[in-house]
Structure 1
Amino acid sequence: MSANDSTRGADATTQVVPDRRLAYTLLGSNADVEQIIEAVAGHLGDDCEFGLTVLIDDVAPLLVGAGREAVEALVDGLAETLDGCRGSVVVGCSLTESTAASVAALFDPRTDVDQIDHPVAVELAALRRDDPTTFGYVRRHWWEAQAAIEGCERNYPQAKQAHTGLSDPETTPRTLGMTLSGLATLGVLETWGETVGPTRYDLTAYDPGRMWAVGATLAADRTDGEPTND
Structure 2
Amino acid sequence: MNDIVRSGAAASTQVMPNSGVAHMVIGRDTERERVFDAVADHFDGAPSGTVDVFVDDLAQVAVRNGVDSAVTFAERLIERFRGRASRIRIGCSIEGPAELLSRVGGSMDAVRAVDPDTMAAVERLSGDDPTTFGYVRRHWVEAKRGIETCDRNYPQSKQVHAALTEPETTPRTLGATLSGLVTLGALETWGDTVGPTRYDLTAYRPERTWAVGAALEAGVSEE
Q: Is the 8 A contact 2:53 2:87 kept in 1?
A: yes
- What's the counterpart of residue 180 of structure 1? 178
Please tell me the root mean square deviation across aligned C-alpha atoms, in Å: 3.1
- What's the counterpart of residue 5 of structure 2? none
Residue 19, structure 1, aligned to residue 39, structure 2 = no
Aligned structure 1 segments of 4 or more residues deviating by more than 6 angstroms? none
Question: Kindly, what percent of the aligned residue pairs are identical?
Answer: 46
TM-superposed CA distance for 1:185, in Å, is 0.5
Q: Which runs of 5+ in 1 are unaligned?
A: 1-8
Distance in 2 between the 1:129 and 1:142 partners?
Answer: 18
TM-superposed CA distance for 1:58, in Å, is 1.7
Match 2:114 to one of 112, 117, 132: 117
Distance in 1 between the 2:13 and 2:189 partners?
Answer: 52
Query: Matched residue pairs, number?
Result: 214
TM-superposed CA distance for 1:223, in Å, is 6.3
Q: Which runs of 5+ in 2 are unaligned?
A: 1-7
Distance in 2 between the 1:20 and 1:64 partners?
Answer: 31
Matches within 5 A, 1:51-130: 51-75=50-74, 77-78=76-77, 82=81, 85=84, 87-98=86-97, 100-108=98-106, 111-113=109-111, 115-118=112-115, 119-130=117-128
What are the superposed Cα offsets for residues 42-98 of structure 1, whole Å, 9 maximum, x if unpaired? 4344x1227222222122222233334434543455456657746333222223252
Matches within 5 A, 1:1-230: 10=9, 12-45=11-44, 47-49=45-47, 51-75=50-74, 77-78=76-77, 82=81, 85=84, 87-98=86-97, 100-108=98-106, 111-113=109-111, 115-118=112-115, 119-221=117-219
- Give me the TM-score of the superposition, normalised by structure 2: 0.78
TM-superposed CA distance for 1:110, in Å, is 6.8
Q: Is the 8 A contact 1:48 1:86 kept in 2?
A: no
- What's the counterpart of residue 3 of structure 2? none
